Amino acid sequence: MVVLWLVLLVFLLIFHLGAFIWIVIQHFLTVKIPSAIQQPVKFRFMHCVMLYIIFLGNILEKMRICSMPRFIQFFCDLLVIKRNHNLMVTDMHFGTIPVRLFQPKAVSSELRRGIIFYHGGGGICGSLDSYHNLCSFLAQQTDSVVLSVGHRSNGDHNHPCIYKDCLNASIHFMRNLMTYGVDPSRVVACGESIGGGAVALITQALLTFPNVPHICAQVLITPAMQVINFHLPSHQQNQNVPFLTKDIFMTAVCKYMDIDLSWKDALINGTYMSPDTWKKYRKWLSSDNTPRRFKSKSLLPEFSEPFDEAAYLEIKHVSDSEVSPLLVDDKIIDQLPETFLVTCECEPLCDDALLYTKHMKDQGVPVTTLWSVVFLDASL
């Protein structure tokens, strides 16, 4: 019996070592590290570890032991939560939605600023715990009351779960601001990645609620603003840049949008998009709106493949304005508050930020943009 256990142990060690070596080889064959990265060795190692975790998660999912997103979330939640003795942290629920409230302990003579934070994770990971330290930092440095929204994002919940959870939690918070010591005229919406897209969606949606205070400013960190045009320059030029490679990004999109992976190529190539539909969205989503300095010379044309009606019937819901806030009408953009937008030139979502910035500036919305040449991830 002991011999069998030893044989099993040796087999598992060889399997894991072989898998990791194969992942490292694939990494060096396919991945492109931006020259601006100051610690490329550490960057490569972290990416290989992430790919290894995804690999194990996929195996467990195929064995029906655990879903891949839940496996990834397990590792995300291993991040050490730093206690801040200057803050009072309270876990609660708004209905069924878990939220975490960060309140400075120091007495204030006036109502504080409020920050509603929506976490990232591509709809397959991310949680209150994995973004705890960031929210704690925000509350401490800005002397604000921060509400972190734990929207559903473990791969088992599809669109529009994130939108509904963030909207419902935000409305509840905005209607009870005085209870938390927050000034109704100083509420900021903030989010990263898919949470940055949620900021745009929720800020737009709250404009239609007359009895709810409006957001006074929005902060979008590397936001995901659309899932329609994957031939934008940043998608093509940064498709092999860690950590959000093309394969990882498209897998996350398909899982959240409940699209079978067999339709992934149709989504990437845009064959589901009819010429009339693309003509309608072109003014917002075309790479013509991307400044020339962000484009290389070897870019593939947008939506050059023939229209596939079967793909359209499977994927058409990606053009929902509750998924792609870039598609909202100009009259809504006109009413948006002051915006601070952070993005990175070395990731595929860069053009999403560029296009939304242009859309807002064209309508006179005050926008401040911070461009970084290195990778940004608010969860690290």
**DSSP code of 151?**
-
The SS3 call for residue 102 is strand
Contacts of 134 (CB under 8 A, 6+ apart): 117, 378, 379
Q: Is the pTM of this model over 0.85?
A: yes
In this structure, what token pair is assigned to residue 14? 């060889």
What is the pLDDT at residue 177?
Answer: 96
Tokens 């009351």 -> residue: 145
In this structure, what token pair is assigned to residue 170? 């935000």
What's the first-to-final CA gap in the chain, in angstroms? 44
The residues of the chain scoring below 70 in pLDDT are: 154-155, 297-298, 304, 373-380
**340 in Cβ contact with 217 (< 8 Å):** yes
Residue type, 337: P
Indicate the pairing of strand 87-94 with strand 97-104.
antiparallel
What are the boundaries of each domain within the chain?
A: 15-66
In this structure, what token pair is assigned to residue 22? 């194969």
What is the pLDDT at residue 198?
Answer: 95
What is the pLDDT at residue 365?
Answer: 95
| Helices and strands (DSSP H and E) totals, the chain | 13, 8
What is the pLDDT at residue 373?
Answer: 59
In this structure, what token pair is assigned to residue 335? 């009413």
What is the pLDDT at residue 51?
Answer: 92
**151 in Cβ contact with 82 (< 8 Å):** no
Residue 149 pairs in a beta bridge with 99, 118
Contacts of 113 (CB under 8 A, 6+ apart): 142, 143, 144, 145, 182, 183, 186, 187, 188
The rounded distance, in Å, linking the Cα atoms of 183 and 29 is 53
What is the pLDDT at residue 39?
Answer: 85
The rounded distance, in Å, linking the Cα atoms of 107 and 82 is 22
Residues in the chain: 380
What is the pLDDT at residue 379?
Answer: 38
Region of 222 (left: φ > 0; alpha: ψ -120 to 50; beta: rest) is left
**139 in Cβ contact with 103 (< 8 Å):** yes
Neighbour-count burial of 304, counting CB atoms closer than 10 A to its CB (0-12 exposed, 13-18 middle, 19+ buried): exposed
Q: Measured at the alpha carbon of residue 218, what is the angle toward residues 252 and 369, in degrees to the nearest 5?
A: 85
